[in-house]
Chain A
Amino acid sequence: MWPWGSAIFSLAVLVAAICTAGSPRANAQAEWPGADAYRNADKDAANWILPARGYSGNRYVSETEITPENVGTLKKAWSANVDARGPLETAPIVWNGTMYVTSSHNDVYALDAATGAMKWHFPYKPHVIAFSANRGVALANGKVYEATLDGHLIALDATTGKPVWNVVAARDTTNTFYTMQPVPYKNMLLLGASNGDWGGIGYISAFDASTGKRLWDWNTIPGPGEPGHDSWSGDSWKRGGGAIWSGVAIDPATDTLYVDAGNPQPDFLGTVRKGANLYTNSMVALDISGAKPKVKWYRQFIPHDTHDWDPAMPPVLFTGTVNGSPRNLVASGDKGGNFWVLDAGTGAVVYHLAVSTQKGQNTQPSRKGTIACPNTNGGVEFNGGSYMPETNAFYVPSVDQCGIWKSQGTATYVTGQFYLGGAFPPLYGPSTGYVNAIDIGTGKFMWRKHLAFPQIGGALSMSPGIVFTGGVDGDFTAYDAKSGNVLWHYKTGMTIQAPPHSYVAGGKRYVVVAAGPAGVNFADPRFSKGAPTLEGRYSHPTSAVITAFALP
């Protein structure tokens, strides 16, 4: 008996030793990010664990090996194909060598961040109300969380991709869906709902991250008896819009949540909702330390909007140098082509700059049609921009379009249909884009590039001096942060409407971006004729690809 027992014992020890050595747990890093990791997420050189890197919402990475001198040698390191039924807008989450991304129809993928090899895939088949898009997952407590197009909030086991729980989170699934990336904060998941053009009322919710139980909702439209309710005539507040759908910023030191509430409804018919229509088209600073959020301050960018010019850009908190001294600021941008820099403590306007052509700002849509710029898909879009301390500049892409705005005499609510009181505007004139660098010292342009196609890919700034962004023509470009010169570019052959991220895996730094078919807003008429690319003609892309780049 002895020899047998001894052999089995030795084998077991040997297997255990091999497994321990080969397991990622042997790594010094903790298995899942803890509270400190989220708080300091913007200083973690290797990982990217929050939608816009840190709670500040600033896609900025300091001290990287990629410089203006060597970025020209950047090469594709790997690419991974995902479900291509719609545009990719996913903001990749990277932790401990694993990348989590989503497709337009809510499939979730875990990829090896160094090779692109698929670790697991969670397929999903949601009913689509209007647009298919998803901005990515949240990672917390060993779970991956996704909010879906059919109004569900789903928790998956981050190691296996198996569902842990699945709850209906939207209050009305006939007119509400989710595109926003949930944000883990303390024990909560913060999540805003998309319903702003379909006759709902905007709200952001906090869910218990362990159970999916709703902790609170904050409505963007004040109800009877609440301050601001008198900014709506009659019953118009009941379908007032104001969706919170892009992203948020948080100051953990004061438990302040910064959100941008979307446009009022019916979008193009102001006469049935007289008044300023609070808190639509506003940035709102909410105290979320208690059981219910409290409004600290708000800044309404466009009172009584009739052009769907909502502040799509997620707020970015940063300390900039204004008139030679540091100041805590928060930036936002709206589809009306305005870029805003506010005092983060009070909401006072520090700078306001037009980053797209503006015309007819004070006109109203009419039955015959009124020309105004930007178009409803113009101005600053949902991936926002980035601040770089080295240059004291803010980098934000924008879309330059004009439209013809028509309204109707009345607005009728039909379940699951647009609630507009008019029609979305046809394009008037060309459809182009800008990449803008704004000097925070002066509030003026440091440089700007006019490009042939709309720019909605957000911006990633990396010290010592590069800005990455992608256009809807699929061109992924590295600009010199100081001069705006193009240092490197890569034609994906697809549409880029996802933000670039950067991380380290296997000791190597990567820059990653998702590209795929055009979204409904940016299905450029030129694409159907075939826009020129390096590969030849552009046609409807039939693939959706995550591409990672690295120095050779």
Chain B
Amino acid sequence: MRTLALCFAAVIALSGASPARPASDDHAGALAALADVRAAVAEIVRIEDGYAVGHGAYLRAAHRAMNALVGRRDDGYAASFGDPGDGVGTLGHLDRMLDKTSSARWTPAVQGAKANVLAAAESLQSALHEKQMEDYQADLTRALASLALVVGRSSESGVLGGLSGALANTSLGVPRGAVSASGCAPPSRAPAYGVVAERLAYVALPRSTASAAIPDELGISRVVVQGDDVVLYTHAAREAAALCRGRSHMQRTRGVAAPAVSYTAPQAHAGVTVYRRYCLQCHGADLQGSAGPAVAGTEFLTNAKRNKWTLNDLRTTVFENMPFSNPGSLSPKQYADVMGFLLASNCYPPGGKPFPQTPSPSLAKVKLGPVPGAKPSNAALGTCAVK
């Protein structure tokens, strides 16, 4: 326990020189949650290993372990037995980490950890009601098994990795204020944390301090000495490297694969009339928007790409919420025609099949964005004229 805390303090001190950007307290929260789990485990192990006689000591141990897990804000907290944890409880820390508008790569691991804490608490709860020593011990063993999953292991990064795995292999392992670097390239200076798409690829430490500062939770798969620095590669390093390769591959091949978008030229032609009558007033003759937003061309497509819109997202907005002054009021044919017109105006080539009049799951697989190899008839706007 103490060594763990000290080691992390050392890393924070080492890396505090030039913080890249303010991180939240999730890293500290995960460490505190782990500390509470370990306090609970210590209580259980102590009573199991000891030679206590009488019901009271066992009940007390179960209560104290429970307190460390659930925290003082929970109904299951029994203050009179004392709390070997920090009072917030593992659950309190995990809830704080999960109570966010966005989810991180480590979220599933933390959610899994929370489920296992709840399972451990359930086992402890039944231990409190047992009459027979064997039953009590069976409950505690179940609790220990659940808590082992909460701690997890640093070689895994999913649910099986638990809190250790998340700390070892994801951006959760980066302390607040530490220097983050791209995990795709070796570090240019230490201390630094190499991160790729929320995966922690390595921790680089100056050689002089490395032996004192290696975090307990770091799962090390490979150690590379690089000049005056030591680079500790994590178990996620291999996956990160594959991602880095994939990125450069995608950059090389971008602009080759044709998007799987289908509509027919007659549809697009029929869509001209629909657009003029129901859409033009708000989206403009040049489709660049007036009262409403742009619906074709460079501005629309770059924004669609930035927001990761699929063809199905566009379909939903058009079929269900347009025209905005009377949504859903056109016929399915009119909607499909105007979708054809919009795709053609965005320089998507027509295909063999018409744009469907009913929902189609395959549309969700088509990502919108500038069309490779397109030759816009209006180069300034990036739109293609539809006849």
Contacts and interface: CB of A to CB of B under 8 A. Distances in A.
B326 A86 contact: no
A325 B323 CA distance: 49
A540 B281 contact: yes
A417 B309 contact: yes
Interface residues of A, number: 45
Given A127-B299, A416-B303, A417-B317, A521 B327 contact: no
A424 B324 contact: yes
B46 to A, nearest CB: 34
Contact of B328 (A417, A423, A518): A423
Interface string A518-542: 1111111101100000000000100
Contacts of B293: 128-132
B8 interface: no
Nearest to A522: B325
Looking at chain A's contact residues, the main secondary structure is loop
B277, B291, B316, B328: most-surrounded residue (chain A CB, <10 A): B291
A527 B281 contact: yes
A517 interface: yes
B292 A520 contact: yes
Given A127-B303, A224-B99, A426-B328, A528 B278 contact: yes
B126 interface: no
B349 interface: no
Interface in B273-297: 277-278, 280-282, 284, 289-294
A521 B324 contact: yes
Contacts of A104: 290-291
Contacts of A423: 320-321, 327-328
B129 to A, nearest CB: 30
A223 B325 CA distance: 34
Given A127-B299, A416-B303, A420-B321, A238 B292 contact: no
Interface string A488-528: 00000000000000000000000000000111111111011
Nearest to A104: B291
- For A85, A129, A520, the residue with the greatest tally of chain B CB atoms inside 10 Å of its CB is A520
B291 A87 contact: yes
Contacts of A131: 291-293
A528 B329 contact: no
A28 B280 CA distance: 50
A377 B324 CA distance: 10
B252 interface: no
A383 to B, nearest CB: 17
A235 B99 CA distance: 7
A190 B282 CA distance: 30
B189 interface: no
Those 9 A-B pairs whose CB atoms lie nearest each other, nearest first: A423-B320, A415-B307, A416-B307, A128-B293, A520-B324, A424-B327, A238-B101, A86-B291, A523-B325
Given A85-B290, A417-B317, 16 more contacts: A87-B291, A128-B292, A174-B306, A238-B100, A406-B320, A414-B308, A416-B307, A416-B309, A423-B327, A425-B327, A520-B291, A523-B281, A524-B325, A527-B281, A528-B278, A528-B281
Interface of B: 95-96, 99-101, 277-278, 280-282, 284, 289-294, 299, 303, 306-309, 313, 316-317, 320-321, 323-329
Interface of A: 84-87, 104, 127-133, 174, 201, 223-224, 235, 238-239, 377, 404, 406, 414-418, 420, 423-427, 517-525, 527-528, 540
9 contacts: A127-B303, A132-B292, A174-B306, A414-B308, A415-B309, A416-B303, A425-B328, A523-B282, A528-B278
